[in-house]
Structure 1
Amino acid sequence: MNKRMVTSIVLVLLMLAAGCIGNVRDEIITELPDDWKTKTQRTISQPQLVQFDSCDDMEYSLKASIAEEYRTELLQAVEEQYYYGWGMFDDGMVAESAMDGDSMASTGSSQPQTRTQGEDFSGTNNQEQGVDEADFIKTDGYYIYVLQGSSLSIMEIPEFGEIEFASNSSIEGSPISMMLQDDRLIVLSSYNPWSINSEDDLYEYLRWGGEYSQWRVNSLTKYTTFDISNRSSPEIIQELYLEGYSVDAREIDGSIRAITHSWLNIPGLSNWLNMPSAYYELQWDDPERKTYREMIAYETIQANDEVLEAIALEDLVPKIYQRVGGEIIEHDMRSESCENFAQPMDGFSRGFTNILSLDLFSTTFDFESDHLLSNHPLVYASKDALVLTENSWDWWWFWGQDEVDEMTNIHTFDISVPGVTTYTGSGRIDGQILNQFCISEHEGVLRIATTVGQWNRWWMDDPEPMSSSIVTLVRGVNPETDQQVLLEYGRLDGIAEDERIWSARFVEDRAYLVTFEQIDPLWTIDLSDPATPKILGELEVPGVSTYIHPLHDGMLLTIGMGPAGEDGLGLDWSSTRLSTFNISDLTQPAVADTLMLSPVNDPEDNRWTWSYSEAKYEHKAFQYWGPKEMLAVPLSTYRYIESHDEDVGYHWSYEYISKAIIVNVDEATGSMSIHGEVNHSSLLNDEGRNHWWGGNENIRRTIFMGDYIYAISGAGITAHHLDTMELSDVVMFEVEYPEYAYYDY
């Protein structure tokens, strides 16, 4: 093999003196192969998931993916191109009689004997009817379940407008969300290995042995299943820990699919250049600097290969742990020949997407786990189908492949049988998908909204411009391989050149898209013939909508941001704007009304920070209640206050504004008006709370129950009568914040 000299003897001696080469390999390398940094040509074939024939095949594929990812990042470092990427509560609760400035309202309105979701009370704002999404607030109409701090709190609702504390249960880790069905509740929590007590049996399972002190993973997801038949004393009946972080979860009639994503920390691998001090003493434009980088990169690539060769497959695959009677049982996710793991035919990923299937009513507490070698997924589910989408390749894969556009893999699964998840085929589309609302299944046809272009090529000076598409897919069989596949059935390209999708919603045989660059077009699209999707109408509106909520066939309700200036261009990121759109004529969509919301009367006063509404980014915070044609929108802001006292010196604190704005929405005309507000500010602005800010001060969720609205923040839960907006009951969460100090100057 032809080789070339890359350094002089002087340079080698400098590096030896700095201890740089010797700490990578014992052998000194002064010549590098000519092709050592040739960019690997990628192969594009099919996205279909292929089960591994053997664990040896899986080990080879996984190690090849890891080695190529680290090699690519090291080559980027040689060229000096780097990727930068894009509260506390205790278990106590105390009932309070009232908040400052509020009087207690009577709860004497009539109560239904049987409380039905959708008729008597609102639940989680789910994308699809009958498919419940995990959230940190749940209700069955008789109780409200709240994850706050490190506890599960259960409040009874004896009568609408009342709140009675039922119980608190400690949750291991940081609670994320939960799923509820009848007398079973499962809590998902994030568990950082660094927080595990060294006396816990789980501690040693998660550590790498030998000289390495790091953990196998950065995060675990814990699944704690409770029997809540006695709400005053919930009982833990199962505890599972899965290596990886929670992505999302869905529940259908007690059958749960929980999705996690994992990748393991591998001791000894490096994706950075450990340069000697002599390197930093050279001038920035000295060509010897690149010589250093090349040599260290080559040495590091060789060292990484040795690490991967020595490590066993079981140390590259995430595991499940089960706590039974205080002891830990380790479950190896691999079957005997690893056939329960699969990857796309041309997949190149070190990550694992794990589908944990649980039946809340199983007496044996069994679970099924399925695993894909894939990139981070998005999750969509109808009552019978689970859809996982992933970027076909991670950002590093495109290094040296600038002619290839982004693509997305679509993997579908049958979930009609409780506790069983069956693969039903894959497909691939151009572009990337914004969120779950860009995915929908209707009458056996999968519909996808996607933005195409070269999104994440941060090293490119002039990536291809963006545009959006609608693609429809149906299930079929590849006659050559006899595999189940998703076949493209129809498509609509060229939507909104130079813009990307900001929100989408599919409703039966229609689609609604909002795209944006400087102004917001709303697009109405006909999908009655899924083979030939057609644009019916377009409406340009200043600002942008980030979430679309259909009221009925003729009206849309959206939330988003207003324009930056009077010319209608750009975005005012601090604003919250509601819009209604009349779509009774899909060829001529029209604005019915707009309403700007603010948590304070003087939003232009620069003493306040930008106002914030979680509902602009999280659909579960957007609570529309059809029976009363009312919408609840959380809004908050705060400001920093500093004062001086002769006795104690300078004193600082925060002033919080935490509200839920209640809006009347006329479904017939689309007109909107502010009905009233729920204000938690007085729960927060006291000496015990207002010296710390962590985001838990915001009202984050609301629930409509009969003639009342319940609002939940990190401070507590309140009930207000909707007719008068008077407070009827409140339970406050006791919160401990870090100690604060006063400073004398």
Structure 2
Amino acid sequence: MRRSLVVLSALCVALSGCTGGRTPATGSSSAQPVAPGPAPAFKLVAFDSCEQLLSSLRDAAAGVVGPWGFANGGTMWRGGGVADTNALGRSDLAGGKAAAPGAQEFSGTNNHEAGVDEPDIVKTDGKRIVTLAHGALKVVDVASRTVSGSLTLGSVDDVSGKSATNVTDLLLAGDRALVLGYDYKASIDGPPGRAPGVSGAQMTLVDLAGAPKVIGRFTIDGGLLDARQVGGTARVVVVSRPMITFPDTSKFDNDDARIAANRSAVTAAPVEAWLPKWTAVDGAGKRTEGRVDCGAVSRPTTYSATSMLTVLTFDLAGAALGGGDPVSVVADGDTVYANGPSLYVANDQRWRVMADTVRKKVATSPARPLTQVFKFDISGAGRPRFVASGEVPGWLLNQYSMSEWDGHLRIATTTSLENTTSSAVYVLRLNGGQLTEAGHVDGLGKGERIYSVRFIGTTGYVVTFRQTDPLYTLDLSNPSSPKVVGELKIPGYSAYLHPAGDGRLLGLGQDANAQGRVQGLQVSLFDVRDPAHPARLAQHQEKGGHSEAEYDPHAFLYWAPLGLLAVPMWDNQQPTVVVLKVSDTAITEAGAITHPGRYTTIRRSLIVGGTLWTLSEQGLKATDAATLAEQAWIAL
């Protein structure tokens, strides 16, 4: 989600597994199996009462609190990790979304799964383009190529007099837009223990039927992780930290005394310190407040109680946003994946690895990297239902590391342990309230880590990298016996894989020399019709170039009807969008698009009819998709 950076300055907890960058592995490539073994299954358990919830939270948090509390600063990425980000949809690959009456065919957002929309900075329905610019929502009429509506979003901080809202992404459903962002005013008005600058996640519902107007706003403690939309229903995932006021431990001369004082603060904290508070305001200004209910909270077998994961539900066609119907798990969240009926949230459990270091205890053996997965049933329009939980060894790269097919979850992870690194793909099946292993294949890229993953039907593609790019093809048709069937080694790596139809696969990443040093942007066209013998048919290189699409696939546009590929790029020259033509066997450069301003970075590209639209913070440019002739410039 999306892919905004949110600094949760003093509340992001080292113990709770805040995501950061994965450390590149070392060693040589090898497909010899290493057997990490399956992780034990675990099951979510609901709390029976607020008293039981509070007792369990206090005990768990007191067990992991450090000499300086939970907080040591930190950074949380929305969309799941270093390269989320998280995204492409098979409907888009096959020619885009069906246009509404009176609209033209259009590309839409590059989503992971067909029918599951993801938040982004721009949306279109074929008649209008809706985007966020300079803290405002802008509506551009495609036919007249003019700004037809503008709405400044957010409230004003009573203390500073400045805008207290930061808008980041949006979803679009008919004449409604759901704008996602952060309310910094909530950090000033919020309860004791909330750190300065820490925001409340905020959702704003905007009616676009006439002049854009706000008809509902919802704010909740915590930071946005990601969101998904199916039809007119949006699911928003929020991660919050306990709001506990710790004593000044600098007066103590040893860590044991500091930890004891902090444990006293934890064991005195009320249950409200953990339960996120929410506020809803409708279009008439009516205000409603509440908290996540004790009965809506569940816990995994092992947890630190330093994070709460909450899933909210909003009907975008409603008169207002309402209370969000929250359901929560005492866990952190790093990565969100949904395929329509199911929504998964993964938690990489890094707090387990870090706990002994923070508490200055020496472990007898390294903690084993694990990822917890929580599955929700979102097939209905109402509150999500917990379905199952599971655990696999290793850590995920991003949402593309997960895929549900025929009732089975395929999940690719990298495990680094005792100076060895290897990757695996696990297949999990539903077994009561648990996700248990049906089968796995390991030993992928020994000494390397995963750089990209793509699951298409019963075939999986995994790229690992250290000095060369092994592209592994996996046969996943038998869930109990997944296997590697092919491997292709080339210089560099693909950070994003995109199906191009008829047994073709596009890879976007970096070229590299024999020592593994990156050389610049690289686009590869692979032939994967025979999974046992993948081959690269063509490549295009931009020396010294980099692209946002390498870590955020929303910036990647492939328009199959024209064989058009548009990729934003920056190097030492002016930022551009490189436009390529992709045939069955070749990649050729069609040209480049720039925006006014020496350092104006173009963020997104989309197709509406025969026009290629490109978006930067400065404006939208309309370009003929066939000739690349400029048609219009619209300042935002």
What TM-score do you get using the length of structure 2 for normalisation? 0.83
Alignment of 1:335-734 (within 5 A): 338-363=294-319, 365-366=321-322, 367-394=324-351, 395-397=353-355, 399=357, 400-401=362-363, 402-454=365-417, 463-477=418-432, 484-563=433-512, 565=513, 568-572=514-518, 575-597=520-542, 611-637=545-571, 657-666=574-583, 668-669=584-585, 671-680=586-595, 683-685=596-598, 697-733=600-636
Q: Does 1:244 align with 2:222?
A: yes
Q: Does 1:333 align with 2:292?
A: yes
Which residue in the other structure is 2:27 paired with? none
Supply the AA of the counterpart residue of 2:428: L
Aligned partners of 1:447 and 1:472 also within 8 Å: yes
Q: Compared with structure 1, are the counterparts of its residues 723 and 535 closer, same or farther at alpha carbon in structure 2 (3 Å cutoff)?
A: same
Aligned counterpart in structure 1 of residue 136 of structure 2, from 126, 130, 151: 151
Alignment of 1:41-80 (within 5 A): 46-71=41-66
Which residue in the other structure is 2:268 paired with? 310
> Whose Rg is larger?
1
Q: Compared with structure 1, are the counterparts of its residues 134 and 84 closer, same or farther at alpha carbon in structure 2 (3 Å cutoff)?
A: closer
Aligned mates of 2:246, 2:427 — CA distance in 1: 45
Aligned partners of 2:348 and 2:395 also within 8 Å: yes
Report the CA distance between 1:627 and its aligned residue: 0.7
Report the CA distance between 1:678 and its aligned residue: 1.1
Can you list the C-alpha shifts for 1:465-518, whole angstroms capped at 9, x where unaligned?
Answer: 1111111111112xxxxxx11121111111121111110000000000000122
Helix, strand or coil: the match of 2:355? helix
Aligned partners of 2:217 and 2:321 also within 8 Å: no
Aligned mates of 1:84, 1:392 — CA distance in 2: 16
Supply the AA of the counterpart residue of 1:306: S
Report the CA distance between 1:85 and its aligned residue: 8.3
Task: Tell me which moved more, 304-313 or 324-333.
Answer: 324-333
Report the CA distance between 1:183 and its aligned residue: 1.1
Aligned counterpart in structure 1 of residue 245 of structure 2, from 261, 267, 279: 267
Q: Compared with structure 1, are the counterparts of its residues 502 and 357 closer, same or farther at alpha carbon in structure 2 (3 Å cutoff)?
A: same
Aligned partners of 1:216 and 1:265 also within 8 Å: no
Which residue in the other structure is 2:168 paired with? 176
Q: Compared with structure 1, are the counterparts of its residues 46 and 513 closer, same or farther at alpha carbon in structure 2 (3 Å cutoff)?
A: closer
Aligned mates of 1:617, 1:442 — CA distance in 2: 24
Aligned mates of 1:184, 1:343 — CA distance in 2: 35
Report the CA distance between 1:66 and its aligned residue: 2.6
Which residue in the other structure is 2:254 paired with? 296
Report the CA distance between 1:531 and its aligned residue: 1.0
Aligned mates of 2:441, 2:591 — CA distance in 1: 43
Can you list the C-alpha shifts for 1:40-92, whole angstroms capped at 9, x where unaligned?
Answer: xxxx97531111112122212222333232237789x9xxxx99989xxxxxx
Q: Compared with structure 1, are the counterparts of its residues 674 and 465 closer, same or farther at alpha carbon in structure 2 (3 Å cutoff)?
A: same
Helix, strand or coil: the match of 1:453? strand
Aligned partners of 1:719 and 1:729 also within 8 Å: yes
Supply the AA of the counterpart residue of 1:274: S
Helix, strand or coil: the match of 2:313? strand
Which residue in the other structure is 2:89 paired with? none
Aligned mates of 1:673, 1:331 — CA distance in 2: 57
Report the CA distance between 1:245 and its aligned residue: 1.0
Which residue in the other structure is 2:25 paired with? none
Q: Compared with structure 1, are the counterparts of its residues 84 and 387 closer, same or farther at alpha carbon in structure 2 (3 Å cutoff)?
A: closer
Aligned mates of 2:74, 2:558 — CA distance in 1: 39
Aligned mates of 2:430, 2:75 — CA distance in 1: 36
Aligned partners of 2:558 and 2:566 also within 8 Å: yes
Aligned mates of 2:589, 2:251 — CA distance in 1: 61
Structure 1 residue runs of 4 or more that deviate by more than 6 Å after TM superposition: 72-75, 82-86
Aligned mates of 2:393, 2:455 — CA distance in 1: 19
Q: Does 1:164 align with 2:79?
A: no
Aligned mates of 1:540, 1:369 — CA distance in 2: 47
Aligned partners of 1:244 and 1:318 also within 8 Å: yes
Aligned mates of 2:288, 2:378 — CA distance in 1: 28
Which residue in the other structure is 1:221 paired with? 201
Supply the AA of the counterpart residue of 2:591: G
Aligned partners of 1:708 and 1:719 also within 8 Å: yes
Aligned counterpart in structure 2 of residue 187 of structure 1, from 179, 184, 188: 179
Q: Compared with structure 1, are the counterparts of its residues 713 and 579 closer, same or farther at alpha carbon in structure 2 (3 Å cutoff)?
A: same
Supply the AA of the counterpart residue of 1:635: M
Task: Show structure 2 runs of 5+ residues with no match.
Answer: 1-38, 77-98, 155-164
Aligned counterpart in structure 2 of residue 135 of structure 1, from 120, 137, 145: 120
Aligned mates of 2:335, 2:555 — CA distance in 1: 19
Aligned partners of 1:47 and 1:347 also within 8 Å: no
Helix, strand or coil: the match of 1:475? strand
Which residue in the other structure is 2:106 paired with? 121
Aligned partners of 2:309 and 2:328 also within 8 Å: yes
Aligned mates of 1:446, 1:560 — CA distance in 2: 26
Aligned partners of 1:490 and 1:530 also within 8 Å: yes
Aligned mates of 2:472, 2:611 — CA distance in 1: 36
Can you list the C-alpha shifts for 1:334-366, whole angstroms capped at 9, x where unaligned?
Answer: 2xxx12101101222310111001111234644
Report the CA distance between 1:403 and its aligned residue: 4.1
What is the root-mean-square deviation of aligned Cα atoms in Å?
2.5
Aligned mates of 1:514, 1:314 — CA distance in 2: 45
Supply the AA of the counterpart residue of 1:713: S
Can you list the C-alpha shifts for 1:618-652, whole angstroms capped at 9, x where unaligned?
Answer: 000001001100100001245xxxxxxxxxxxxxx
Report the CA distance between 1:177 and its aligned residue: 0.7
Aligned counterpart in structure 2 of residue 234 of structure 1, from 212, 217, 225: 212
Helix, strand or coil: the match of 2:420? coil
Supply the AA of the counterpart residue of 1:228: L
Report the CA distance between 1:673 and its aligned residue: 0.7
Can you list the C-alpha shifts for 1:649-683, whole angstroms capped at 9, x where unaligned?
Answer: xxxxxxx71211110000x22x1011111111xx2
Q: Compared with structure 1, are the counterparts of its residues 45 and 114 closer, same or farther at alpha carbon in structure 2 (3 Å cutoff)?
A: closer
Aligned mates of 2:305, 2:299 — CA distance in 1: 9
Can you list the C-alpha shifts for 1:154-182, whole angstroms capped at 9, x where unaligned?
Answer: 00011xxx511111111111111111111
Which residue in the other structure is 1:7 paired with? none
What TM-score do you get using the length of structure 1 for normalisation? 0.71
Q: Compared with structure 1, are the counterparts of its residues 579 and 398 closer, same or farther at alpha carbon in structure 2 (3 Å cutoff)?
A: farther
| Larger RCO, structure (CA 8 Å, separation 6 or more) | 2
Aligned partners of 2:67 and 2:262 also within 8 Å: no
Aligned mates of 2:421, 2:478 — CA distance in 1: 26
Can you list the C-alpha shifts for 1:187-245, whole angstroms capped at 9, x where unaligned?
Answer: 001222xxx3xxxxx6774142xxx7x54881211110112111xx1121111001111
**Equivalent residues, number:** 558
Report the CA distance between 1:713 and its aligned residue: 0.3
Report the CA distance between 1:315 and its aligned residue: 2.6
